[in-house]
Amino acid sequence: MQKIPHAVQGIVIEIIYALAIMLCAFIIGTAILFIFK
């Protein structure tokens, strides 16, 4: 039962990793559109 909070934490960290990738990519994409215009 102690394991459940750890597992939830793990899930949250993984989702944050995914969101971080998306955010970074969005920034790169936006930058490219402006730089290369």
By CB under 8 A, residue 17 contacts other proteins: yes
At its nearest, how many Å lie between other proteins and the CB of residue 23? 10
- What does the alpha-carbon distance between residue 21 and residue 4 come to, in Å, rounded to a whole number? 26
Place of tokens 């971080």: 20
The size of the chain, in residues, is: 37
Task: Find how far residue 35's CA is from the centre of its chain.
Answer: 24
At its nearest, how many Å lie between other proteins and the CB of residue 28? 6
By CB under 8 A, residue 10 contacts other proteins: yes
At its nearest, how many Å lie between other proteins and the CB of residue 1? 14
Going along 1-37, which residue ranges are E strands?
A: none
By CB under 8 A, residue 1 contacts other proteins: no
